Amino acid sequence: MTPVTKPYLPNKEKYKNYIDRIYESGHLTNNGPLLKELEQRLADYLGVKHVICVANGSLALQIAYKALNITGEVITTPFTFAATSSTLLWEGLKPVYCDISSNSWNIDSTAIEKLITKDTSAIVPVHVFGNPCEVEKIQEIANKYSLKVIYDAAHAFGVKYKGGSVLKYGDISTLSFHATKLFHTIEGGAVITESDEVAERIRKLINFGVTGPETIEGLGTNAKMNEFEAAMGLCVLDDMEGIIDSRTKSICEYKRNLGDEVSFQRVHESANDLVAYFPILMESESAVHSVIKALQNQEIYPRRYFYPSLDGVYGSNNLCKNSNEISKSILCLPLFHTMDKGLINNICRIIKEGL
């Protein structure tokens, strides 16, 4: 069976060495030494100031909303995983959906301003499949209306924009470290910020609001990452160069084989190569169904990321035409570190025959 992705498993002995360190220290959670090491190494690797690791990517988003005191309406994209919207609703916020660009598949920055009302407090764009949003234009709008910008950057680990990390844009960026992601900690996530003040606020929020043995400064929750997850993250981070290299080669092989049979996402010219996913766009939803059936007959399982468009799921009155059309015609093909040319060639052959 070939799934859409496979979690990267590092060398077992290497992971065991980190586990031995946990047993030696007796420190299992609560900001342990491996977590501190991971946060510093991630900050260095990503080129950002503050990386605060948390239990998962959904909590990262919820903590971001709390840290910036987001209220009322939030302008966001309907073309994303459910967590982008569900976390807003969980926090009592109202997602207001802005349609996407038909080429980049990111939020359409030219359509944001007309959706702003007196109740709007923030914009939550998504770097879809790691493709950088029009960050300067979005920030210009946010500055004009005194709005906060929180990027759901779950797909954008290691993505560069104009030579620097795309995670440095906005007030906060959030990451998911789920096992299916390019970089993972089994379960986990992180909140990224360049602000010392915001980072301090986040650290309070993820630890019940507790700041000392006898000090509680407001509300908080338990969003901490434990030492065993941090250990996995350290192992995976050591191997990132090889992981990225293998996925880059697989994507090149896919594109060489598929040629003009399908369409691809238009990636921002100032970004580096994207290797988190391999989405293709087909001519119709019927073509998607045909290809899925043909692949599944060979026990190959692609995924329809992202279907359905969330404006139809969470009761929005704003129909987002591009998002709905693209969500019906998109398919993510298998992409993981152990793929070989034979498998990719077979997948591409089945797709061509199924179209």
Q: Confirm if 178 and 188 have CB atoms less than 8 A apart.
A: yes
- Rounding to the nearest 10 degrees, give the CA dihedral for residues 141, 147, 152, 157: 70
Spacing of C-alpha 226 from chain mean position:
21
For tokens 């954008």, the residue is: 156
Rounded to an integer, what distance in angstroms lies between the CA atom of residue 222 and that of residue 112? 34
Single-letter amino acid code for the residue at 126? V
Phi-psi region of 145 (alpha: psi -120 to 50; beta: other; left: phi over 0): alpha
- Of 2, 13, 29, 18, nearest in space to 233 by CA: 18
Q: Confirm if 159 and 271 have CB atoms less than 8 A apart.
A: yes
Rounded to an integer, what distance in angstroms lies between the CA atom of residue 351 and that of residue 342? 14
Could you give phi then psi for residue 189, rounded to 5 degrees?
-170, -175
Active-site positions read 181
